[in-house]
Homo-oligomer: A and B are copies of this chain.
Amino acid sequence: MNLERPFAHASRNHYLSVARDAAIYRQGERATCWYEVASGIARICQFHSDGRRQVTGFAVRGDVLGIERGIRETAAEALTTMRLVRHDLSDSTVALPPSGPLQEGDSAWERALRASHESLALLGFPKAVQRVGAFLLLMMRRLESGTRLELPMPRIDIADHLGLTMHTVSRAFSELARRRLIELQGPHHVRIVNLPELVAFTGADMTEVVPRGHQLVA
């Protein structure tokens, strides 16, 4: 499938810079290419007919952006200045090494699917504080920034990502800070003070338990 040159030096691929707040692609367009994020962060979102806006993900270094055929179901916008690698739709070979939970040898589809599952997992947490906590832990892994997190997105984006309101997200940050699990140095600068306790409090140790199952199929 894509076994040869797993990390090809994207010779035919366009590298491009994107300014903060620029649209990378729009919802409703016909997809002609997809991107890899070399640096910076993008917000991927979906606008619904009832007025809701759903942020389906944040794309960071190594993430695949806008891989789909036909009409785009999401829009992507740069939250910071970014560097992207543009790929043709017929190509599903990633050019950049993975970051965070991604793996070497992934195809682009595989990476996109993994990211989608991570977003699903976040929405599975029943309470707001847990969702926000899990979001911080996920971002820490994905940004590979240690315990000092720089989150360029506004609260409303986090809210629309986690299925909450801006207010509830803000309260969750405050509660995590009150419990001395994180420290807020300005709204966009979070320091994770007590990682193990944050993991425990959130319930997000991300290790799964094998269930007692029935007989296997073969």
Contact = CB atoms under 8 A, between A and B. Distances in A.
Interface of A: 1-2, 16, 18, 21-28, 46-50, 52-54, 56, 67-70, 73, 75, 77, 84, 86, 90-92, 103, 107, 109-110, 112-113, 116-117, 119-121, 123-126, 163, 203, 205-211, 213-218
A120 B119 contact: yes
* Number of identical protomers: 2
B1 A92 contact: yes
B216 A54 contact: no
A48 B209 contact: yes
10 contacts: A16-B218, A23-B217, A27-B211, A28-B208, A48-B209, A52-B126, A54-B120, A73-B117, A77-B214, A109-B113
A70 B120 CA distance: 19
A211 B75 contact: yes
Nearest to A214: B23
Shortest beta-carbon contacts, A-B, top 10: A109-B109, A50-B203, A28-B210, A116-B116, A54-B124, A23-B213, A123-B123, A47-B211, A23-B214, A47-B209
A210 B49 contact: no
Contacts of A70: 103
A120 B203 CA distance: 21
A77 B213 CA distance: 9
Contacts of A77: 213-214
Given A26-B211, A54-B124, 4 more contacts: A23-B215, A54-B121, A113-B116, A120-B120
